[in-house]
Amino acid sequence: MTSPILLPPPNPVDESAYRSLRDLVAAGGVTALTGAGMSTASGIPDYRGPDGSRRVQPMQYAEFLASAENRRRYWARSYVGWARFRSAGPNDAHRAVAALQQAGCLEELITQNVDGLHQAAGSTDVIELHGNLTDIVCLNCEERFERGEVHRWIAEANPGFSADSDEIRPDGDIVLAAQDFADFRLARCVTCGSDLLKPDVVFFGGSVAKPLVEQAYRAVEAADALLVLGSSLQVMSGLRFVKRAHALGIPVAVVTRWPTRGDEWVTLRIDGLLQDVLPRLVEDCLPS
């Protein structure tokens, strides 16, 4: 049986801080930066606990490249996890961000998430720093494929393969014992025959593409404020934008549970659940 996703406990929102956030968002010109906390209410957990430490150890990029055995382990887990991952839908926080963006309160949206739920909720101008799990790339010949197509190849290569796990991860990976994938066969690129097929996402130990970083910097630099939603800011791929905004004198507001690595550069912080705070902002900032 699948274990339920454990959400952070509710926390009363400081009303003075909320009013400041409301005024900042209502004024418009806000760029948003979102993290895994956006999707926890959709059934996709984040990586970290309240202290910022990782609850799970994801596949490292160098580890994925190192051996076919490591790739078999990754793809077996990802193959099983994909069915559950793709069934997740936008939650109230995603819908609130889309509504605020459509009303002109939020401008560009930078996300560290790879689940595509912002776009599913109606958001546009989404800069996906870490890519999207629906896209597959061959690391040997750079041919690109749609995830559903590769999923069918894996199914054909592994008839009857099935496994289950009570844990799913933010990148669609799950936990499987070694015996669960002992006979698992990798799919191969139909163009070059390589088994170096990989979701076009940034694995831990990998780097965000420079053009994406520059695009995100431009979005931050053009903003009147930066709003961080559901990110612990533990990794530099998100933290650097907070530091850039602070260096330019651009206000930085954060809404998330638990402290973040960037709190010293934050102008306004609300310790609360996104699904509580963001729909309220929609009610207060948008005309009926």
Q: How do residues 91-143 score in pLDDT, each as one tens digit?
A: 999 999 999 999 999 999 999 999 999 999 999 999 999 999 999 999 999 99
Same domain, 116 and 218: yes
Print the domain residue range for 250.
Answer: 13-44+90-130+207-288
| 200 touches 135 (CB < 8 A) | yes
Which entry of 94, 118, 130, 151 is annotated as an active-site residue? 130
Binding-site residues sit at 138, 141, 189, 192
Q: Which two tokens stand for residue 34?
A: 């979102």
Alpha carbon of 26 to those of 23, 218, 272, 284: distances in Å? 5, 22, 19, 8
Q: Looking at per-residue confidence, does 169 or 184 come out higher? A: 184
For the chain, the 3-state helix, strand and coil shares in percent, each to the nearest 5, are 40, 15, 45
Show which of 146, 181, 201 is a domain's final residue.
Answer: 201
Distance linking the first and last C-alpha atoms of the chain: 43
Q: Kindly state the average pLDDT of the residues 218-245.
A: 96
- Residue where a domain terminates, one of 201, 220, 255: 201
Helices (H), the chain: 15-26, 61-66, 68-86, 92-102, 117-121, 147-157, 210-221, 236-247, 274-285
**130 included as an active-site residue:** yes
- The domain tally of the chain equals 2
Can you say which residues are annotated as belonging to the binding site for Zn(2+)?
138, 141, 189, 192
Identify whether 2 is part of a domain.
no
What is the chain's mean pLDDT, rounded? 89
Residue 17 lies in a domain: yes
Claim to verify: residue 144 and residue 277 sit in the same structural domain: no
In a domain, 5, yes or no: no
| Domain identity same for 160 and 280 | no
Whether the per-residue pLDDT at 52 is higher than 60: the answer is no
Burial degree of 108 (CB within 10 A; 0-12, 13-18, 19+): buried
Categorize the per-residue pLDDT at 5 as very low, low, confident or very high, splitting at 50, 70 and 90: very low
Q: Are residues 28 and 66 in the same domain?
A: no
81 and 149, same domain (yes or no):
yes
Does one domain contain both 221 and 277? yes
